[in-house]
Amino acid sequence: MKKFLVTAFLFTMATMAFAQAAGPMAAESWTSGKFLAHFSLAIAAAGCGMAQGKAVAAACEGIARNPQAAGDIRTTMIIGLALIEALVIYALVAAFAIK
């Protein structure tokens, strides 16, 4: 799973870096920057969803094992979820920059 995520991340970065239209015909093709921007955003959103699901599951397990630490675990989880979501927002900004 880790190899898949690293490969997806590197593919997303390469797609965003090289997604530039070369001329009027390139803008009309399905491999234009718009398609690649949307595709890279979809990969980033999928990775974000998997990461957030894993974080919430781990937090729920931690709270179930130690109910006294529920407040600290919840606070740390919310901060982590915000940072995970920020990565998708960065991909969205990059997708807008490509368009």
For 5-19, the pLDDT digits (tens) are 778 777 777 766 666
Enter the tokens of residue 63.
Answer: 């709270």
Name the domain count of the chain. Answer: 1
In a domain, 90, yes or no: yes
Q: pTM of the full predicted structure? A: 0.61
CATH assignment at residue 43: 1.20.20.10
For 28-81, the pLDDT digits (tens) are 555 566 777 777 788 888 888 888 999 999 999 999 999 999 999 999 999 999
In a domain, 94, yes or no: yes
Q: How far apart are CA 22 and CA 77, in angstroms?
A: 44
In a domain, 62, yes or no: yes
Q: Which residue has the tokens 């995520």?
A: 5
In a domain, 21, yes or no: no
Q: How far apart are CA 67 and CA 73, in angstroms?
A: 10
- From the list 96, 87, 82, the residue with the least C-alpha distance to 47 is 87
In a domain, 63, yes or no: yes
Q: How far is CA 93 from the centre of its chain?
A: 12
In a domain, 53, yes or no: yes
In a domain, 14, yes or no: no
